[in-house]
Structures are given as C-alpha cells and as structure tokens.
Chains A and B, each alone.
Chain A
Amino acid sequence: MDDTILEMRRITKTFPGVTALEDVTLSVRRGEIHAICGENGAGKSTLMKVLSGVHPAGSYDGAILFDGKPMQFRGIRDSEANGIVIIHQELALVPYLSIAENIFLGNERRGRSGLIDWNRANADAAELLASVGLHENPVTPVIQLGVGKQQLVEIAKALSKKVRLLILDEPTAALNDVDSAHLLDLLRQLKEQGITCIMISHKLNEITAIADSTTVIRDGRAVETLDMRAEDVSQQRIIRGMVGRDLDSFYPDRVSSPGDEVLRIEDWSVRHPTQDRLVVEGVGLSVRAGEVVGIAGLMGAGRTELAMSVFGRSYGRDISGRLFVHGREVKARTVAEAIDNGIAYVTEDRKRFGLNLIDDVRRNVSAAALARLARLGWVNGNEEIKVAEASRREMNIKAPSVMAVVGKLSGGNQQKVVLSKWLFTDPDVLILDEPTRGIDVGAKYEIYTIINRLVGEGKAVIIISSELPELLGMCDRIYTLAVGRITGEKPVGEATQESLMELMTKDKELVG
C-alpha cells in the first residue's frame, strides 16, 4: 500500500508582481504529523490555501495528489468533501452560537422533514466533544469558552466532517502552556486514530516534540524536509534551514548597567470591568533606567490587565494603588496622561489595538504623538514624512515607502511600525506585551536588538511574555504573576524555566 497520503507536486503560485510559491513539492506520509515551518511571508499559509482550495485549481501551476488521485479543488467545500480540513490561526467560530451549532454550521444535522434535528445534533456534538477531551455542554455559547477550548471545538468540527488530513495553522499561538500541552496530546491521539496532520508552527520546541517530519519553507521554496524520527534534529538545525544561516544566539548580548528607578507601582489592584472579581491584586513592582524587567505569567494571570491598567487606566475599574514615575507620584487617569508621563504600552494584539491597518506607515508612526508634529493644531505633513522615513531606516521596516498601507506588511514589519509609533512619543519606560508574538525568527532577533539599543540609551523596559526562554534571554530581573498576584521576583541569574514555571503556577494550586 502506498505510504503517501498527499503529494503536492511543483506548486507555483504567483500574485501580480510577487511569486509566493515557486516549484514547491511536499509529500506527506499517511498518519504522520508533518510540521511546516518558515519565516513569516515564506509562503506557508499560501501553500495551505492552495491545498485547501482557497486558491482554486487553475490559479496555480502544479499538481495535487491525494491518495494517489489527482485533485482539482475549486473551493474549500471540494477539499472538505475529500476529508481535508483546515483550521485557521484566527478561529472561525460564531461567538453567540452554541458549540453544537458551530460544529454543524454549514453541515447541519437534518431530520426527515428537512428541519434541523437538534436532539441529534447535540448528541453527536457531545460525542465529538468527548473524543477531543472537552467536557462542556454542547448548548454552551462558544463565547463563554476560553481560546484553548475554542480550539478544541474547531477540531471537533473538523472531526464531524470525517477529516482525514487535518491542517492546523499556528494552533498554539494563542494558547497558554497547559492548553498547548493538552492540544499536542490530542494531536497524538488523532494520529493513533489514523488522522494525518499538517501543522504550521513557529514554536520549534513543539515541532521537535511532536512532529514526524518537518518541511522548511524559505522565500516561497521548500528548502528541505527533515525526518524527525531518523535524525536527532535540534531546534538550531531547523532555524538554520529557515533563515539560511545559523543564528549564533537567539538573544543578542547586552551589558547591563541599571540606573535610577523610572517606574514603580505599589499595591496595585484592578477589578474586572464587568465581573465582580479582582484581576490584579496588590501588585508592586519597579523598573530602573537601562534595565529590562520581565513579567512571566500564564494566560489569565492578569499580565495584560496589569499593564493596561497602568497605561492610563485603559482596562478595568476601581483601580487602586500608587504609581510613581521618576520617584514622583503620578495619576495617569487617561492614556494621554500616561503618554505625557513617559509611559508607552505596546499591545500584544497589534492588529486590533496597535495599528490602523487601512492607513499608511507614516500616519501610524505619528498617531500617538501627533502633537509633536503640530503647531496650533496644524500638522506639518512634511516633517511627519521625515520622521516616518527616519523610523523606516532605523527600524529597518521593509516597506516600499512610508506611504505603504500597514495592513499589507508582514507581522514583523507591522510590529516595527508599532514600536516606531511608541518610540516617537519619546517614552522613559516601554511596556512591551508579547513583543515577538507571531513574528518570524529573523524579525524577532531584530526586535531584540532594538530593545537592547533602547535600554542602552537609558530607557526602562518591561517585557511581558509567555515564552520563558525569551524572558530569560532578554531580562535583568523577572517577576512572576499568578492569578493577579506577584508570586516571585528573581534576578535572571537565579532563574530557570523550571523555577519560574513553579512560581507561575504557585497561586493556582493555593486558590484551587
């Protein structure tokens, strides 16, 4: 019997002016977990869109063989009919519909009358949920579930379509470590049931843990396919394939020389905007000039909530506690006041909270400090262009010009635009919330270099991250946050992933 379930032969896909894929050949064995990795913009998603029929047959060159038979998918319905299901990074669930309604959306369970048989739908849904290890009532609205559980609903939905080849695009990008581990376990189970998986991921530790083969894509070409079982493939080895060179180190070196304290908060508490519970409770922390301080915490620990409440009370209510900048107590009741006090907050979700995606680089860069370019309310457009050009050069933003629309840039370049915007406010302290989420290895390194440069210039930096190696590689000191409370503080020299994880999960056990 043929061992290969899927073969994509010499796929070439061009968009006007750009060749997204060039002569890519991919071969996936039956029942394996096949990882695809590569930098952002390398063509991974395009390849999967070709496979799932989002880019219909005829819009690309090359052939797709599924189970040895040539396929011509005209749309996603065609590929799903053949058992190929793709789960996108941005989950495609309808928030106010129930789990069961979401699972059978477009594939409704009908009774003989032609009307939907809800009893059967709910019963089938319950069965599917059990198979993915999700213990929720099928009539629960999806909006009440966390991201991790929503991901499981997506997989249950895929199973309902009799999936044979499951494609997951960055499945763990938005998940915390516990949920990620659960998901990876589930993928192993699916594999035992004979379901083949293609997984796009940036998280190399996950790839080395779970994948049977890994195909590396670079600049629209399939560079190599590594057999993860035969060889002992290290993360470094994969990175070399992705960037075409060895990264000497993930994290650039920096000489640490902290100066005076820039920001301190004391006894900071924040209540949830709608529910009656404290999201942040009695937190105290400080950061000095020329210092990088990390905040480690699982999802839901209150990291973003803490940062945003400090940043002009842009989250929560009943905020209590004291905030000091350069030793002087400040109120910072609005974002504008926070900016005036030299605080900048770089959001974890740049598309929703960081950028005006339909506008150009220039106007995004100036958005937070337009007053600096204006006299009596009149903006100096030429000066603005100059500022944006300077940012483009200094941050190495890859855009045809500062008039380029930000929505068309890659994730890494978008992040550089957000950083430029906040640097133009000339802050003393930068709070970076997941500064490298969803961006590729090369751009990550550039962001780290920028952070180090800023710290060298005497700025204070707070990094919030779920990636512990990132915190260990970048920070001078690390605070751990669990269920809204600081559970520990360690100089980086004394911290390990294990000791941090222990502190990050500490309060959880106490609270239950």
Chain B
Amino acid sequence: MTSIKTPSTERPTPPDSAPAAALHTGTSDLRALVLNNLRQSGIYVALVVIVALFAILTDGVSLSPGNITNIVLQYSYILVLAIGMVILIIGGHIDLSVGSVVALTGAVSAVLVIQQGYPWWVGVLAALVVGVAVGAWHGFWVAYAGIPAFIVTLAGMLLFRGLTLRVLDNISLSPFPAEYQRVAAGFLNGLLGGQGFDAFTLLIGAVAVAGYAVSGFRTRVARIRYQQPVESFPLFVARVVAVGAVIMYFAWQLAHARGLPIVLIVLAVLVLVYGLLTRRTVFGRQVYAIGGNLSAAALSGVKVRTVNFWMFVNMGFLAAVAGVIYSSRSNGAQPAAGNMFELDAIAAAFIGGAAVTGGVGTVVGAMVGGLIMAVMSNGMQLMGVDQSTQSVVKGLVLLVAVAFDVYNKRRAAGTR
C-alpha cells in the first residue's frame, strides 16, 4: 500500500516547496496502483484489447482517419445518453424511455424547422425544452409520487413514442437545412490551414493534452500540500505522456480526414462538465449518497426528492441533445428513430463499471463502456459480420463485463 504521512498538527502548514515536492514525492508501486484501480483499469485494458483486435482483424482499416471520424459521428448520441444514464444508475434509477425521447425531440425540431420553416436554432431550442419537460414529467412521478423509475420510464417509452407518431403524423420528415445538418455532420477545419491535414485540429489536440497535464499537476501539488499519497513523479509523467500520445494520435488521424467534428467538441464539453459535476459538486455527491444508501442519505439531510427530480430533468435534457444530434445526422425525423438506444446507453453504463444496485459508477467509465460497444459494432460492420452475429456478440460482452464486475466485488469482499 501507499504510505500515508499523517499530518503532525491540526492544521498542516502548507510547505512552500509543495510544487517542488511534486517532482519527487510518492509511490512508484505500479502494482498497487493498478490493483487499487482494477475496476477502472479493467475496462481501459478491455478497450485497448478490443481496439487492437479489430485493428488486426480489419488490417488497420478500423484505425484509418476516415473510420475514426465515422465512429465519432456514429456513436456520439449514444455516449451523450450514457452520461445521463450512468448518473441515474448511480442514483439507483434507470431510464427506459430515452430512445423515445430522442425520437420525440428530433420530431419536434423537424416539424418546426422543416415543416414550419423556422430557423435551425429554434428547432434546437424547442427540442431542448421538450426534453427538459419530459425529464420533469419523469422526475415528478419518480421523486414526488414515489413510483419506481422502471415503471415510470417504461410508461414514458410508450407514451413518448406515441407522441412522436402524433407529432410526425406517421411520416418521415427531411431534409434539414444545411445549418442544422452541421450539428452532427459539420467539421471545424481549414481555420489555420495545413498541408493535407488540418492544423487547427492538431492545435486543439495539443491544447487538450496541455490542459490534462496542467490540471493533473495542479491536483498533484494540492494533494501533496494536504499530505496525501500520490503516484511517483516518473509514473505521473508516464501517465501524462501515454494519455497525451493517445489524444495526439487521435487528433492526427482526425486532422487527416475531415478535421474536428463539431459533435466531438459538444461531447468533450459534456464529458468534462459532467465528470466534474459527479465528482466535485454537492449535487454529484448526493447522487452517490442516495444510490449507496437512500435512508442514510435522507437522514443526513440530503433532499432526496429534489435530487431525484433533477437527475431526471438532466436525463431529459441530454436525451434532447442526443435527439438533436441524431436528427441532424440522419437529416430528418423518422417515427422509429432512436429505437433501442436506451439499451445501448444502459449497456455502456454497466460495461463501464456502474453497479446494478446503485451508488457506483463514473461518467468516464460509461464513456469507455460506450466506446467498447462502438468500436465493436463498427469493427464488425467493417468486417461485414451480419446483424444477428453483432447482436449476439454485444449481448455476450455486456454479460461478461457485468459478470467480471460481480466476480471482482465478491473477491474484494472475501479478502476480509
């Protein structure tokens, strides 16, 4: 285990040399670090293995610039849904209706923009408003009427699918104007020029890496100031270099395709915001507390109903974001849009380490879980595997991922 230096006084005087100390203090016990984070590192390893596997099986096509861009465009809305879903699952709930809500919000937007001729942003705003309203509807029934989320959102799944059909009058609408299509199919490129690649994309990639390094270093300095255990400096550098290399490779490939997809920016912002929201805010912590032990949370002064309500409002909002992206990408609204999206989002959360019983899970984990599903589906499509086999494989992966998690937990319980 890592050694903990217990503060000698009530209020440890911050050593002025903390930044300097950040360069050498800490454990270099890689094994302990990996074991401590087995739950998390397990899925990273799985993702790397799956990426490598399909790179080999498709002769590198899966890692080609064009295909990486495709994966981002094709699965971004599932990842957006997975953010809201993992938060609900941590809180001990579920949402089965998100597929229907994606369809409904897309339909409302399409009716306004395509049928009524409003500008593109009116459609986007209307979709978000509808999504939030749907979330508030679910939130009311779960939080204030005390109906289990499974039932409420199962009803919502039927209800909002029905409303979608009503709104669309049972027909598909298309196409959207060019501005609206840009949301999901647009790229930021050519802003800084470049020879056969997009310099701007690389710049953004570099900024992201720098941001990662700086924030990591600042956390490290603060940890040391509070005399908490940290990883050794070489290990820290190795981590930053590894993550930086992955990001830059990714940016490099994107730069050689069509540039930086707008949805990727949206997704990155959402992951960043919600990652912080769940880990660092009072609201996020109360979600974990409710999922971990509802009664104890209530008796600790957590306003359980309010928190539950806003969790669902948030899910509705994110479903609307996904609805806009999806309608933009498919360039129209269809009555059957978003079918089964809820299952992909739920699967992403569980593969990413969320617990069925609530109280456990992370946004980043859900993203990795979603990427595992995405890379698998995409890889199998590239290989020409038929739909039935794809479904079987995805089902088995979900089962194995959760089984591994259960096994891990049982082993952890057995050690004491």
Q: Which of A101-144 contact B (CB under 8 A)?
A: none
Out of A311, A356, A370, A381, name the residue touching B292 (CB < 8 Å): A356
Q: Which of A252-260, A371-379, A479-487, A502-510 contacts B (4 or more CB under 8 A)?
A: A371-379
Residue-by-residue, is B275-310 near A (CB-CB < 8 Å gives 1, otherwise 0)? Answer: 000001111011011001101111111110000000
Given the known A-B contacts A15-B415, A382-B225, are A354 and B359 also in contact in the complex, defined by CB atoms under 8 Å?
A: no
**In the complex, A50 has a CB within 8 A of chain B:** no
Task: Give the Cβ gap from B297 to chain A, nearest Cβ, in Å.
Answer: 7
Residues of B within 8 A of A347 (CB): 299
Q: Is the CB of B416 within 8 A of A15?
A: yes
How far is it, in angstroms, between the C-alpha of A311 and the C-alpha of B355 when the chains are bound?
32
**In the complex, A386 has a CB within 8 A of chain B:** yes
Residues of A within 8 A of B74 (CB): none
Q: Is the CB of B223 within 8 A of A359?
A: no
How far is it, in angstroms, between the C-alpha of A15 and the C-alpha of B300 when the chains are bound?
34
Q: Which of A296-341 contact B (CB under 8 A)?
A: 311-312, 314, 334-336, 338-339
**Contact count A vs B, C-beta below 8 Å:** 98
**In the complex, B360 has a CB within 8 A of chain A:** yes
**In the complex, A16 has a CB within 8 A of chain B:** yes
**In the complex, B6 has a CB within 8 A of chain A:** yes
Closest residue of A by beta carbon distance from B1: A400
Out of B12, B299, B414, B416, name the residue touching A345 (CB < 8 Å): B299
Residue-by-residue, is A403-439 near B (CB-CB < 8 Å gives 1, otherwise 0)? Answer: 0000010000000000001000000000000000000
Out of B6, B282, B299, name the residue touching A314 (CB < 8 Å): B299
**In the complex, A511 has a CB within 8 A of chain B:** no
Given the known A-B contacts A15-B416, A356-B359, A363-B288, are A335 and B280 also in contact in the complex, defined by CB atoms under 8 Å?
A: no
How far is it, in angstroms, between the C-alpha of A15 and the C-alpha of B413 when the chains are bound?
11
Given the known A-B contacts A382-B223, A390-B10, are A357 and B285 also in contact in the complex, defined by CB atoms under 8 Å?
A: no
Given the known A-B contacts A367-B289, A379-B285, are A358 and B359 also in contact in the complex, defined by CB atoms under 8 Å?
A: yes
How far is it, in angstroms, between the C-alpha of A438 and the C-alpha of B12 when the chains are bound?
36
Residues of B within 8 A of A408 (CB): 416
Residues of A within 8 A of B234 (CB): none
How far is it, in angstroms, between the C-alpha of A368 and the C-alpha of B293 when the chains are bound?
13
Residue-by-residue, is B100-114 near A (CB-CB < 8 Å gives 1, otherwise 0)? Answer: 000000000000000
Q: Which of B185-221 contact A (CB under 8 A)?
A: none
Q: Is the CB of A382 within 8 A of B359?
A: no
How far is it, in angstroms, between the C-alpha of A268 and the C-alpha of B416 when the chains are bound?
45
**In the complex, B44 has a CB within 8 A of chain A:** no
Given the known A-B contacts A339-B301, A389-B6, are A370 and B285 also in contact in the complex, defined by CB atoms under 8 Å?
A: yes
**In the complex, A355 has a CB within 8 A of chain B:** yes
Q: Is the CB of A314 within 8 A of B10?
A: no
How far is it, in angstroms, between the C-alpha of A408 and the C-alpha of B295 when the chains are bound?
19
Q: Is the CB of A356 within 8 A of B297?
A: yes
Out of B222, B293, B303, name the residue touching A356 (CB < 8 Å): B293
Residues of B within 8 A of A335 (CB): 298-301
**In the complex, A277 has a CB within 8 A of chain B:** no
Residues of B within 8 A of A353 (CB): 295-296, 299
Given the known A-B contacts A368-B301, A370-B282, are A356 and B296 also in contact in the complex, defined by CB atoms under 8 Å?
A: yes
Closest residue of B by beta carbon distance from A345: B299
Closest residue of A by beta carbon distance from B293: A356
**In the complex, B162 has a CB within 8 A of chain A:** no
Residues of A within 8 A of B298 (CB): 314, 335
How far is it, in angstroms, between the C-alpha of A339 and the C-alpha of B228 when the chains are bound?
30
**In the complex, A393 has a CB within 8 A of chain B:** yes
Q: Is the CB of B6 within 8 A of A393?
A: yes
Residues of B within 8 A of A345 (CB): 299
**In the complex, A230 has a CB within 8 A of chain B:** no
Q: Is the CB of B282 within 8 A of A374?
A: yes
Residues of A within 8 A of B226 (CB): 382-383, 385-386
Q: Which of B1-24 contact A (CB under 8 A)?
A: 1, 4, 6-7, 10, 12
Residues of B within 8 A of A367 (CB): 285, 289, 296-297, 300, 302
**In the complex, A244 has a CB within 8 A of chain B:** no
Q: Looking at B10, B223, B226, which has the most chain A CB atoms within 10 Å of its CB?
A: B226
Q: Is the CB of A357 within 8 A of B292?
A: yes
Q: Is the CB of B7 within 8 A of A336?
A: no
Residues of A within 8 A of B302 (CB): 367
Residue-by-residue, is B12-46 near A (CB-CB < 8 Å gives 1, otherwise 0)? Answer: 10000000000000000000000000000000000
How far is it, in angstroms, between the C-alpha of A48 and the C-alpha of B283 when the chains are bound?
44
How far is it, in angstroms, between the C-alpha of A357 and the C-alpha of B416 when the chains are bound?
14
Task: Give the Cβ gap from A20 to chain B, nearest Cβ, in Å.
Answer: 9
Task: Give the Cβ gap from B302 to chain A, nearest Cβ, in Å.
Answer: 8
Residues of B within 8 A of A234 (CB): none
Closest residue of A by beta carbon distance from B11: A386
Q: Is the CB of A421 within 8 A of B300?
A: yes
Closest residue of B by beta carbon distance from A383: B226
How far is it, in angstroms, between the C-alpha of A390 and the C-alpha of B283 when the chains are bound?
25
Given the known A-B contacts A378-B280, A393-B6, are A358 and B292 also in contact in the complex, defined by CB atoms under 8 Å?
A: yes
Which 7 pairs of residues, A with B, have the shortest CB-CB distance?
A356-B292, A368-B300, A336-B301, A382-B226, A335-B301, A356-B293, A367-B300
Which residue numbers of B lie inside 8 Å of A, CB to CB? 1, 4, 6-7, 10, 12, 222-223, 225-226, 228, 280-283, 285-286, 288-289, 292-293, 295-303, 355, 359-360, 414-416
Residue contacts A-B, CB under 8 angstroms, 12 given:
A15-B416, A16-B415, A18-B416, A335-B301, A358-B355, A358-B359, A358-B360, A367-B297, A378-B280, A379-B280, A386-B7, A389-B6
Which residue numbers of A lie inside 8 Å of B, CB to CB? 15-18, 311-312, 314, 334-336, 338-339, 345, 347, 352-359, 363, 367-368, 370-371, 374, 377-379, 381-383, 385-386, 389-390, 393, 400-401, 408, 421
Q: A358-B360, A359-B292 provided; 18 other pairs, C-beta below 8 A?
A: A17-B415, A18-B416, A334-B303, A335-B300, A354-B299, A356-B292, A356-B297, A359-B359, A367-B289, A367-B300, A370-B282, A377-B282, A377-B283, A379-B280, A381-B280, A382-B226, A386-B7, A401-B1
